[in-house]
Every structure is written in structure tokens, then in C-alpha cells.
Structure 1
Amino acid sequence: MRKLCEGENHCHSTMANWRGKMAQRRSFWAVVAVSLLFLCLLSWASIANLGGRVYCDYLKGEYCQVVPSPSPHLDSSFPVLKPAPFTTSKPVSIPILPPVRNYSDGELSTFVLAKDILTRPLNHAGKTKVAFMFLTGGPLPFEKLWEKFFKGHEDRYSVYVHASQEQPTRKSRVFQGRDIRPQKVFWGRIEMVDAERRLLANALLDSDNQYFVLLSESCIPLYDFDYIYDYLLSGNMSYVDCFDDPGPHGQGRYMDQMMPEIRRSDWRKGAQWFAVTRHHALLIVADHVYYNKFKWNCKPGEENRNCYPDEHYISTFLYIMNPANLANWTVTHVDWSEGKWHPKSYTKEDVKSPSKLQQIQKIKEHFHVTSDGRAIRTVKPCLWNGQHRPCFLFARKFLPETADALLQLLPSVTWRQAHQPT
């Protein structure tokens, strides 16, 4: 019995040791499995264009909450321009995840050029001017209003007009001789982008032009010249509408032919009316890789699905190149409240008093609505460098019949009252 008991004790001890070793092995393989799962998730996040966010959350912490993370297209030395006074701005760079693929020769040359442009200091020695670029079908019904707006600031602005249908005689001296070589423009086609790039190229010839605003013939200024000039040149940023819409009028317009240069996760939508820095204007004019993707693939017809280049090209391109210096809203107001294909037009009745214009001036939030079935509305403050700002400097879709009333109303009432304390 004693030997039997000794044998049983030995068996129990052996079994206990075996169970302990098995538990240790299970713990080891559990740790390995969790580690592998974490690595897989990080790899997936990088491929899905979430790598920059994961990198910020886990490795860089709070810094990434101050400076937006650039697109993972860019290498670790690509610049992010912090907001700063216009004449003393200094570009800085932050490390980001490496590219997820090799670039083609065309893309590589584009990024090399972009890097060089974005790192150039803004130490312009001449008089800093804003280029006002009018994309119009022909006549400019608010010539007299704009002449009043520009009066006394002749050394701080330039004017360029692209008239796609006719070039009538300009009544105001501000617009005389300011028409550039035009071409016909068709809504929703690449010719619209061509006209925008042609305006930018002509304006860039003047080295004093350091900011570039695209306007239409129906646009009016909501503030006087000094206010708009200081607003635009207060920091290194471009006011470009840049929205990720998962619906049919956003992501639904993306096509696989855009790969590999433009991934679905980079696809953005926005209003065409922009205000951009000289850095970004140079990038837009110099680009041929991404522009050609839109030119050859976004065409109306049975064999193509029109992706409306004027609503997607500049937003998508600048999001890939330098997203940290995009305000993600346009400074040109338009009213889509009627829910139609075209925005509301303002008539004489809308400008009998300054109330409508003052309502637009007071807007301090910009919003987007997705085009899918849920129609999700996102509202964000117009915020830059920690400061709330009025969202809009211009407004559009004013009919020619409002010209005389606006000429009386804006300079004497709306512009003057905008500077009074509230």
C-alpha cells in the first residue's frame, strides 16, 4: 500500500507539472496571437489610409491633434505649413508613415516639385497683391460695384477675366484690358478646370500676386477691400471646399481607373469657387499626373462615367499634396436650401434691405450634407489657428437686376456696419 501511495503521489505531481507547462504555453501563444492581430490591424489601417491617424494616436500623441496629419502618400520630409503671419511664415515637417506603394516616374517628379514649392519661404520683396479671377460667360453685371470695392487699393490687387462665350466691352476701367485668352467652358467637364488653370497661370506671371480668388459674374463682396485682404493673407492656408461624401454624388463618382495615383480614400468633393495661396496655385498649374487622370476618365458618354472634374479635381489633388493647409470650406457663400440642381438666385426682393446680406455675414459655421439615403449633415465652425472667423467673404448667384440696389446698399451700409462692434 505504501508503494502504491508513493506511486499515486508521483502521478499526481507529474500531472500537476504537465498542466502548469501547458498553461504557460497557452499564455505564450495567446500573447503571440494578440501581437500578430495588432500588427495585422496596423497594416490594414495603413492600407486603408488610416495609418496617419493610428500613427498619431499611438506614437505621436497630442501633437497630431494640433497639426492635421498629411496624406500617407507623402514621405517623411514633406512639409506641413503651420499658420503664421503671411510675411514670416516658416514651413515645418512632421514624420508620417512611409508610402504604401512605389511611385511612377510622373508621380515622383510631381512630389519632388511639390516639396520644393511648399518649402519655399514667403519672403516676397514686392507689394503683396491678391489676384481676383473672374470666370464668366461674358458680361460682368457688377462692374461698378467691384470698381467701388477696388478704389484706393490699386497697388494691392490684380484682375483677370476669362469670358468663355463673348467678350463684351468692359464699362469699368478696372476690367478694361483684363480679359485673357478664353476657351469655351462646359459645366461638369474638364474644360472648366482648364479655364481655372489658365486664369491661375496668367495671374502667376505677376510675382506680386500672392493669393488667388476664383469668382463668377454673379459674385459680390460681403466686406470692404481691407477686411478681405487681411482675412486672406493672415495665414498660410487655402480656402478649398474638401468633403468626403460617401453617397452617389461623392464616392459614387469615383472609378477604378483613377488607381493607383488616386485612391478611393483620397477622393474629395467641393465647390469649385476657391481662394488659394501662391504655393497651391503653383501646384495646380504644374500638375499633369493627377490632372490627366481626370481629363481622360471624367467624360460624359456611354463609355465613361462623368465624375465632374470641377467639383473633385482641386479638392482631391490638394488633399493628396498638402491637406494640413486646407481650411476645408470655401469663402464664397451660396444657398442650396431649395434642394435643386442649382442654388438659389437672389432677386431685387432679397436686397431691399441689408438683412439678407447681414445674415450671410454672421454665419460662423460651414456644413456638408451627404448624398446617400441617410443624408447626414455635419456642421463645423469656421476655425483657424484657434480663432473663430466669419465663414464667407463673398456671395454668389445675385441676378443682374440687383446691381443698382447693391451699389447703394453694400458700400454705405453693409461694409460700414461690418466694422462696428457688436
Structure 2
Amino acid sequence: MYKGFSNLGGLRSFNDKQRRRKPRRWYFLVAFMGILCVSVLVFTSKNLSKSARNMNPCDLFGAKVCPDSLFSQAPPSRPLTDEELATRVLAQDILSEPPKSAVKPKIAFMFLTAGNLPFERVWEKFFEGHAGLYSLYVHASRRAELKSVWNSSIFIDREIRSQEVFWGKIEMIDAERRLLANALMDLNNQYFALVSESCIPLYNFNFTYDYLLGAHMSFVDSFDDRGPHGQGRYHDKMAPEVSRTSWRKGAQWFAVSRKHALLIVSDYLYYNKFKNHCKPGPENKNCYPDEHYIQTFLYMMDAGHLSNWTVTHVDWSEGKWHPKSYEKGDITEATLQSIQAIENHYHITSDGHPITTVLPCLWNGRQQPCFLFARKFLPETAEPLFELLPSKIWARALPSSREEKHD
């Protein structure tokens, strides 16, 4: 035989042996990767199991990978009433509509206040130079009684018809819905932020505008608290329309998309359930509608497009019934920057063995600062805040991802 062919045959024999050996290497590699994956799952399973109930399904990869409407739900376990069916059909129609295009999309800032706004100058500076990109609505329930006057021209004639609001009662929800209804009349309003008289903006207008209009979700604090201050406030008369497992709790202050604003103002079935069976007082299980109605209703209608955290910061570290009130001596650059730096949101259950859930604030799939606004600041802080915010806090370099354009 020709020598060349003989060598080629030897090479083939060698290669055949190598091919038979390669699968063994792959077996070891696959086995190693399997062990690694199992280890990671075991390490994280405890934290995931605690937080799964409050995790937005779009959090990890961003809302762009989610369908336009996540209203598709498992078939109901019982026949729906006529009112439930009508509400769900309307909700599905609203959620499935393509977003309305606006020449200049605007953010509606809705001020829920008793009287005047102690931080008028701060807000006036915040809005300066951005006419046409925002709308203002003020619900001042006691302004005539308090003889308040507006010092800034941007708030003149921005009041809507207002009625008296009582803390912890359904009138608070009525005022919120009234603000939303008035703001929805302007078709260019695409996002709706509820703020109070003790609230301040943590960033400049451009940052806030891009953050809200660039998001693919509503910022509503909505979590499952199975303790006495969560599910313990649930009344059996809420059933069958509102189940105990659907009951959610969260902060009052929200920022919602136009679709979710439409859902809130068009609802009467679930609203009446809360009006009749969620009231303050021990005989009513100390139920406060502003902590449960919107949080539960939007969870039931479109949970997949809720952030599960609020963009308004408040300090509960004092462990009291009401959050910390910031005084004049608290106003420092370091304090405000520390709030800006928060990138995780916390939920603590109210049962005997509280469970703390810590989750990243994921903005379109990326961890970002959580808060755009902060409260409760006393009126005495107005002057130092006006001196500090525009020059030191708003002027700071912003995260580059905030300056990117998003669909």
C-alpha cells in the first residue's frame, strides 16, 4: 500500500479514538454546570420564595419583553356577576388599546392638599422652562376656610372642584378620583402623579419626565401583607368580588399611566366594595381605603404592569403611626443625596414574625434609584430647600441610563 495512505489510515484511527474520548469531556462539563445551577438555586430559593408574591413578572427582563396587556388571567373559579363581567370587559378593552399618541406628552401633577402649598417656590423652579410638558391640578379641600392664597402664578386657576377630605376615609379616594378625572380631560396627559403639600421633587424636571414617560408600568406600592395591618383588615363582605388572596396594601402616593388612570375613574363595582366595607375604627378592623383600594384594584386588573413600589419616599424609621416629619435642621445635602441613592424597596409584614422583603427598583429591567419625590417636609423647611435643591441636588450629574431615550 502507498505509504501516504497508510499514514492517513493511522490518522483516522487516532481521530476515531479522540472522537470517542470527547463525549466524556462533555459529560463532565454538563455535570459541572448542572451542579453549579443547583447550587445557585439552593442559595437563592429562600429569598425568592419570600419575594415571589411581590415580584413583578416583567422585573427581571424589562416590560418590553412582556405583552402589551397582561390582563389574560386564569378562568374564574365561579360564574362572574353581571357587574364583574362588565368591569372586566371594560378593563380588557382599555388595556388592549394601543397607546394614544400625543404631540407633546405631558405629566399631570395632582396636588392633594388641605390648603396652600408651602413649597410653591420649589415647584415653580422645578417647572421653570418646561411649559407644555406638564399640567397642574390642585384639590384644596379647606383653602377657603384656611384663607390660603397662591404666591406663584403657575398655581392660579389650577384648582378643581374640591370637597372636604377626612383622613383614612373614602373621601380621600373620592378626591384622588376627582383629580384623575379632571386630568384625563386633557388627551395629552399621559402620566399622572399624585403629590401632597409636604412633598418635594428630588430631581430636576427632565429627569422626572424621562423616568415616568420612559417607564412601561405604573408606580403603585402594592404588596401582600398577611399580618393584621394587611389581610387582617379584609372584611368577608368584600367577597366574592374581592378575595382575601387578592387583597393588597401599599402607600397612598402613586404615579400611574393613562390606561390605569382610566381604569380607576371608570370603576364603581370595586370602589363601592371598599366604600361600604373598608372603614377606620376597631369595629371595621382599622381599614383605610387609601392604603388598599387602588393597590388591590390595579393588582386584580393588571398586576403585570405594576412596579410594586412608590416613587415617593417617606421615612418610617421612627416606628410610629405616622412617618418622620423633616424639620429645618434635617435639611442637608447629605440627607437628600442619601434618599436619591436608594435603589432597593422594602416591604415588612405586620404579623408576629415580620418578614422583610428587599427587592431592587427595576426600571425597564435595570436597577435604578427608586424615588422621584420625598415627603413629609414641614413648612419651616421651605427656604433651605429652595436654596439647596436647584443648586446642589437637581444640578448633580444624573445616571446615564436616565438620559437615554426609551420607547
Aligned counterpart in structure 1 of residue 348 of structure 2, from 369, 374, 386: 369
Q: Which amino acid aligns with 1:397?
A: K
Aligned counterpart in structure 2 of residue 187 of structure 1, from 159, 167, 170: 167
The DSSP-based 3-state class of the residue aligned with 1:417 is: coil
1: distance between equivalents of 2:304 and 2:227? Answer: 24
Shift of 1:84: 4.1
2: distance between equivalents of 1:153 and 1:386? Answer: 28
Give the aligned partner of residue 289 of structure 1: 269
Give the aligned partner of residue 122 of structure 1: 99
Shift of 1:92: 4.8
Shift of 1:342: 0.6
Shift of 1:386: 2.2
Q: Is the aligned partner of 1:91 residue 2:59?
A: no
Q: Which amino acid aligns with 1:385?
A: N
Give the aligned partner of residue 299 of structure 2: 319
Alignment of 1:333-412 (within 5 A): 333-351=313-331, 353-412=332-391
Give the aligned partner of residue 143 of structure 2: 166
Alignment of 1:68-107 (within 5 A): 83-84=63-64, 91-92=68-69, 96-107=73-84
Cα RMSD (Å) of the superposition? Answer: 2.2
Distance 1:128 1:248, change over 3 A: same
Give the aligned partner of residue 215 of structure 2: 235
CA contact (8 A) 2:94 2:262 kept: yes
Distance 1:185 1:95, change over 3 A: closer
Shift of 1:156: 0.3
CA contact (8 A) 2:71 2:301 kept: no
Give the aligned partner of residue 182 of structure 2: 202
Shift of 1:95: 5.8
Distance 1:373 1:112, change over 3 A: same
- Larger Rg computed on CA atoms: 1
Give the aligned partner of residue 23 of structure 1: none
Q: Which amino acid aligns with 1:165?
A: R
Deviation track 1:150-201 (CA, whole Å, cap 9, x = no partner) reads: 0011110000010111242211011111111111111111000000000000
Structure 1: state its 5+ residue gaps: 1-52, 54-63, 69-81
Shift of 1:102: 1.2
Q: Percent identity?
A: 62
CA contact (8 A) 2:177 2:264 kept: yes
Q: Is the aligned partner of 1:149 residue 2:126?
A: yes
Shift of 1:228: 0.4
Shift of 1:91: 1.7
2: distance between equivalents of 1:65 and 1:141? Answer: 36
Distance 1:312 1:96, change over 3 A: closer
The DSSP-based 3-state class of the residue aligned with 2:237 is: helix
Q: Which amino acid aligns with 1:368?
A: H
Give the aligned partner of residue 44 of structure 1: none
Give the aligned partner of residue 40 of structure 2: none
1: distance between equivalents of 2:381 and 2:142? Answer: 23
The DSSP-based 3-state class of the residue aligned with 2:135 is: strand
The DSSP-based 3-state class of the residue aligned with 2:394 is: helix
What number of residue pairs does the alignment pair up?
A: 343
Aligned counterpart in structure 1 of residue 234 of structure 2, from 241, 251, 254: 254
Shift of 1:396: 0.5
Aligned counterpart in structure 2 of residue 224 of structure 1, from 204, 207, 213: 204
CA contact (8 A) 2:190 2:258 kept: yes
Q: Which amino acid aligns with 1:185?
A: V
Distance 1:156 1:375, change over 3 A: same
The DSSP-based 3-state class of the residue aligned with 1:252 is: helix
1: distance between equivalents of 2:281 and 2:329? Answer: 41
* Deviation larger for 216-225 or 374-383: 374-383
Distance 1:93 1:223, change over 3 A: closer
Distance 1:288 1:96, change over 3 A: closer
Shift of 1:65: 9.3
2: distance between equivalents of 1:224 and 1:139? Answer: 23
TM-score by length of 1: 0.78
Give the aligned partner of residue 6 of structure 2: none
Structure 2: state its 5+ residue gaps: 1-51, 401-407
Deviation track 1:261-305 (CA, whole Å, cap 9, x = no partner) reads: 000000000000000000000000000000000011123467644
1: distance between equivalents of 2:374 and 2:80? Answer: 41
2: distance between equivalents of 1:226 and 1:293? Answer: 39
Shift of 1:420: 7.4
Structure with larger RCO (C-alpha < 8 A, sep 6+): 2
2: distance between equivalents of 1:331 and 1:325? Answer: 15
2: distance between equivalents of 1:299 and 1:280? Answer: 24
1: distance between equivalents of 2:373 and 2:359? Answer: 19
CA contact (8 A) 2:222 2:308 kept: yes
Distance 1:411 1:179, change over 3 A: same
Distance 1:417 1:146, change over 3 A: same
2: distance between equivalents of 1:115 and 1:321? Answer: 8
Q: Which amino acid aligns with 1:399?
A: L
Give the aligned partner of residue 140 of structure 1: 117
CA contact (8 A) 2:56 2:307 kept: no
